Structure formats: C-alpha cells, structure tokens
Structure 1
Amino acid sequence: MEFGRLITAMVTPFDADGAIDWDATGRLIDYLIEEQQSDSLVVSGTTGESPTLTDAEKAALFKFVVERANGRSKIIAGTGSNDTAHSIHLTQVAEQCGVDGILLVVPYYNRPSQEGLYRHFKVIAEATKLPVMLYNVPSRTVVSMSVETTLRLAELPNIVATKECASTDQVTQLVAGAPEGFRVYSGDDSAALPVLSVGGYGLVSVASHVVGSELKRMITAYTNGNVVEAAQLHGKCHPILKGLFELPYAIPNPVLVKAALAIRGLPVGGVRLPLVDATAEETAALKQLLQ
C-alpha cells in the first residue's frame, strides 16, 4: 500500500453542541487534499480526539471520509487502543467501511511489556487484510516500543510502516534494520527533515492543516536531492511546527490546530472535554504566529 509522503492526522470538526459537524468535515477533507496536498488522511487518531469519540461516531467518520475522499487520497483509520479485543473490533469495522489502512497506537496506561506489545499488534494484524501502520508515541503512552519489537513486527506481512515519535537515533536503527518496503514516518512535525535525512520515508503531520503545501514542497525538495532548498523550507515552517504545540507553553493537541483553522477561515468547532478551547490570549498569539 502506498500511503504517500505526507499524511495528515485530521481533526474531527464539531458543531456548537459538540456533535460531529458533517458539512465542516466535508469541507476539511476537500481542503486537506486539494489545497494542502495530503496524500493520505488519518481519521480518528489522537488529533481527531479519538478518546472522546464513540464507536458509532468512529464508524460513521470512516464511512463518510472514504466516500468524500472518493479515491483522491488514502484513508487510514485510527483503531488502536489499550484493549486488544476492542482494537480488533474497531479494525474490522473500519475494514467494512472501506478504509485503506489502519493506524495502531502503542497501548497506553496499562504499560505492557515488549512481548505484550508484540502479541497485541500481531493478533490485530492477523484479524484484518488491511495494511497496518504502527504508532510509537512515548510521551502519550509512557511505554516506548523498542527497535527490536518494531523490527520483529515488521516481518509480519501486512505490517508495512511505523509512525515514530521517539528519538532520531531510534529512527536510524529502524531504517537500518527494517525489511525491504517497510517505511518509517516521522510523527513529529519539527523532526520531519531530520527523519528524512536518516532514511525516513515521510511525515504524519498535524501542522499540514495549515502548512501542508509547504511541507510537501520540503519533502519533495529533499527526495529530489535539493537539500539546501529543503532546509530553507524547514526553517521557514519551523516556528509554526513548534508553535502549534508550544505557545510558549505546552498546549494539548488539537486545541491550537483547531484554532488555527478558524483563523484561516475554515472553522471546525471546539474540542471536547477534558480538553478546553484556546483562550483569547492564546488565539491572539497564534494569529500573530501564523501571520
């Protein structure tokens, strides 16, 4: 499965009552594909507020996004959780909805061992025909999947990629040890160029909601051998890549990217509790950053 170089982890638009806003979701899909040049979209990932979406909402989102994208981009469903049986259920629902692949996050809170991680991902992958992208994000899950466990999983036929948010050293080891065709994506916007430089394939991005076309140009420049141009584009985007998460203190994703979309004239509503919307002060600082 070719997911492309630039994948957007899409926010979930909500209306004033906190329900999914389907009109806004449709506009967002078109915008991300046509204007921000996303090759694939992740639906119901952390950026999509998956912890506060019901299973019924997730299924409806999967089906809606597949139909709206209509082949213009690949659709990757976030179906991972810290309950293996539940993840299998969501994965099979997503497959029935016609998605192109699934994203499976390292189980959070219950802190499984490396053997537990291996068995968790293995049985989910065996329960679907879809290609699987792993997702290692230690800052959210506490447990970090080791290089050895990831490479062990990479030998399974339909585990085809990983979204990596650990160190560049870990990415380097993954690239060096991975079987042919297994792809390593940066899960950290600001680390995209460093990850490419050590052999990573692309980026699963949040900032691509607002600077996707620039990030696509950066990736293309680098893969075409125009390293200086890629570095210049990276430097130009870097304040936004960092600012969407730190303004000047850490603000949980997707609070600021939703505020940024509203500033750009594409409102997608607020966030669900326990997250809270950006304050007036934070929004003003974000507006200045975007300008």
Structure 2
Amino acid sequence: MSIFTGSGVALVTPFTNDNQVNYKKLEELLEFHVENKTDAIVVVGTTGEASTMTEEERLEVIKFTVEKINKRIPVIAGTGSNCTKTAVEFSKKVEELGVDALLVVTPYYNKGNENGIYEHYKSIASVVKLPIILYNVPGRTGVNLSINLLKRLACIENIVAIKEASGNMSYTTEVARQVPELDIYSGNDDLTVPILSVGGKGVISVSANIIPETIHNMVMSFLKGDIKEACRLQLGYNELSNGMFIETNPVPVKEAMNYLGYEVGQCRLPLGEMYQENKEKLYGIIERHEVKKWS
C-alpha cells in the first residue's frame, strides 16, 4: 500500500522576526493544508530548511506536526544526513514521535560509492520499522542513484518509494520499468503529470505551499482518468511552479508566501534575500495566476 496518493506538501518552516520557529504560524499552515486537500505533510525537508535547524528544533517541529495533524493525513519527516551514524540515530528518534514515514535524502557532499550508499540506507532501514522514501536529487547531492542500486535497495523490506527529483524523465521511466517495487513521487512540480503517466503515485510539491488544492486536483484528475484536466492544470501552472525556483529553494516560495500575506518569515542564512529584479518577476507571476492571498 502506498504511503500516500496525491499531493504531499514540502512544507516551509515558518520563522519569527528573530529567526525562531513560529509554532503559531506552523499550526495555521497545517490546518490550511488539511482544509485545502493536501494529501500528506512533509516536514523538515529541503523546503523546510532542515539543514539550518538544530536537531532539537527539527524534533520539536516533527513532534508538533504529528500532534496537530493527529492522523488526519500522513506526516512524513526528513531524516537524511551525509553522516550515516547521524541519520541512523535521528531516524530512530523520529520514529518514536509517531510519523508515518521517513524521507531520506541521498548522502550529500561525500559522493558515496554504490556500496557505501547501499549500506547507508540499509543501516537506517534496519533500525526503524517505518516505510522509507528514498530522495534522489543529484542537483543538490552530487550523486544520482543508479538503476542497479535502486534494484538492490528495493529488496530491503521497508524501502518502498522514491522521491525522484533528477529532472530526467528518461531516467524516471527506467525506474518505473525496472524497479516497479518502488512507488514514485515526483520531486519536480513541472514534471508531475509526466511522472504520473509512467505510474507515479503523486508529488512532493513546493508549489503546494501556495496552491495546495490545485496540485491535489492535478494529481487526482489524472488518477481518475481525466487526463485532459490534469494536463490543463500542469501546463497552466508550470510558470508559477517554475517561479518557485528562480533562486534557490525555499527562498522564492517563502517570498511568495510573504507577498500573499502568509507571514512565514525569512530564510535562515546562508539563504539570503532575493534580488529585487527576481522579486518583481515572482510577484508578476503570482498576479498573472491570481493566486489566492492568505485569509
């Protein structure tokens, strides 16, 4: 059984003006997503700025999210690290908080070889019972999970899915063809429908932070057989989705949310303020697409 089907939001972590986690706003965001048809919450991932948060902060955000969602939709927590021991210990702690699954990014910077990456994931999977979603994002990690490595990893019982964010549809098609044991979630908003077309189960979406119902409807339209509507939404909102990446994620999506009145605070350094010209481009895109403001 799939962890979820549909749209999982790669949730931002809201900060206060003094750069602390804003739990009041986080609760508001969680309720917003439940009300607007988001199918799963993904916390403390890339978009959630996990890399600039302490372990204590990440655990508290995960715990808070699990408690507030209260099993209404799945909660998936990012627990990856470039240090295997760190990822193992953190994954064990997170499992105790009651999440539904783990999202584990490929070890980054080290550029591990295939045997090393296999043992990394095996070490994590061996100490938790939760389902694990592999996260393949070579643009950030410097490593692409090969098809042969995915075949090996898919033999581990609780490694059940992959968030595929290589941007390479030829590769994704081969994953679907050769490693059917793994559910595929699009990690690129602009490739959601193409990935659904080769058997994908949904998307883990940055754009869903501001258009959650649209992303949900796109996936569900496709899965219900209304391909024309799914394509209309994909093509109609690609400009907006791509606008979330005119600078490094999550800088643009947080800027967009603040422009729309969400008041989620700024990113933590080393993610700085957007260039003014990019802000103006982003605001123009938002206005053209008539994105609803926070209410």
Aligned positions, number: 285
Aligned residue runs from structure 1 range 121-140, under 5 A: 121-140=121-140
Structure 2 stretches lacking a partner, 5+ long: 288-295
TM-score normalised by structure 2 residue count: 0.93
TM-score normalised by structure 1 residue count: 0.95
Structure 2 CA distance for aligned equivalents of residues 245 and 140 of structure 1: 13
| Cross-structure match for 1:8 | 9
Q: Is the 8 A contact 1:100 1:131 kept in 2?
A: yes
Moved more, 86-95 or 169-178: 169-178
| Cross-structure match for 1:288 | 284
CA-to-aligned-CA distance 1:25-80 (integer Å, 9 cap, x gap): 11111112212x21111111011111111000011011000011111211111000
Structure 1 stretches lacking a partner, 5+ long: none
Q: Is the 8 A contact 1:165 1:186 kept in 2?
A: yes
Q: Is the 8 A contact 1:163 1:185 kept in 2?
A: yes
Structure 2 CA distance for aligned equivalents of residues 271 and 111 of structure 1: 27
| Cross-structure match for 2:264 | 268
| Cross-structure match for 2:291 | none
> Once the 2 structures are TM-superposed, how far is the Cα of residue 145 of structure 1 from its aligned partner?
0.8
| Cross-structure match for 1:217 | 217
Structure 2 CA distance for aligned equivalents of residues 165 and 62 of structure 1: 23
Computed over aligned residues only, the root mean square deviation of the Cα atoms, in angstroms, reads 1.2
Q: Does structure 1 residue 28 correspond to structure 2 residue 29?
A: yes
Structure 1 CA distance for aligned equivalents of residues 212 and 238 of structure 2: 13
Structure 2 CA distance for aligned equivalents of residues 135 and 118 of structure 1: 13
> Once the 2 structures are TM-superposed, how far is the Cα of residue 279 of structure 1 from its aligned partner?
4.2
**Residue from 243, 249, 256 that aligns with 1:253:** 249
What secondary structure sits across from 2:184 in the alignment? strand
Instruction: Give the % identical residues.
Output: 38
Moved more, 130-139 or 4-13: 4-13
CA-to-aligned-CA distance 1:234-281 (integer Å, 9 cap, x gap): 1111110111112xxxx1110111111112221100000000123444
Structure 2 CA distance for aligned equivalents of residues 216 and 62 of structure 1: 23
Structure 2 CA distance for aligned equivalents of residues 146 and 174 of structure 1: 9
Letter in 1 for 2:273: D
Structure 2 CA distance for aligned equivalents of residues 23 and 281 of structure 1: 32
| Cross-structure match for 2:292 | none
Aligned residue runs from structure 1 range 58-207, under 5 A: 58-166=58-166, 167-180=168-181, 182-207=182-207
Structure 2 CA distance for aligned equivalents of residues 42 and 5 of structure 1: 13
What secondary structure sits across from 1:107 in the alignment? coil
Letter in 1 for 2:139: S
Aligned residue runs from structure 1 range 29-68, under 5 A: 29-35=30-36, 37-68=37-68
Structure 2 CA distance for aligned equivalents of residues 161 and 260 of structure 1: 30
CA-to-aligned-CA distance 1:126-149 (integer Å, 9 cap, x gap): 110111000000000011111111
Q: Is the 8 A contact 1:211 1:237 kept in 2?
A: no
